[in-house]
Amino acid sequence: MIRDLILKNRSYRRFYQEVSIELATLRELVDLARLSPSAGNTQPLKYILSCDPKKNALIFPHLAWAGYLKDWSGPCEKERPSAYIIILGDTEIKQSFGCDHGIAAQSILLGTTEKNLGGCIIGSRQREGLRKALKIPHRCEILLVLALGKSKETVVIETVGPTGDIRYWRNSNDIHHVPKRALDDIIL
Ligand X SMILES: Cc1cc2nc3c(=O)[nH]c(=O)nc-3n(C[C@H](O)[C@H](O)[C@H](O)COP(=O)(O)O)c2cc1C
Listed as own residue / partner, the contacts of 50-55 with beta carbons closer than 8 Å and 24 or more positions apart are 50/83, 50/84, 50/85, 50/86, 51/20, 51/21, 51/22, 51/23, 51/25, 51/26, 51/82, 51/83, 51/84, 55/134
Of 10 and 131, nearer to ligand X (C-beta) is: 10
Closest approach of ligand X to the CB of residue 93, in Å = 21
Of 23 and 76, CB closest to ligand X = 76
DSSP class of residue 116 equals T
CB of 24 to ligand X, least distance (A): 26
Residues that bind ligand X in the complex, under the rule CB under 6 A: 10-11, 13, 64-66, 120-124, 155, 168, 178
| Rounded distance between C-alpha atoms, residue 171 and residue 21, angstroms | 29
Q: Which is nearer to ligand X, 67 or 162 (CB)?
A: 67
CA distance 36 to 110: 12
Nearer to ligand X, 66 or 140 (CB): 66
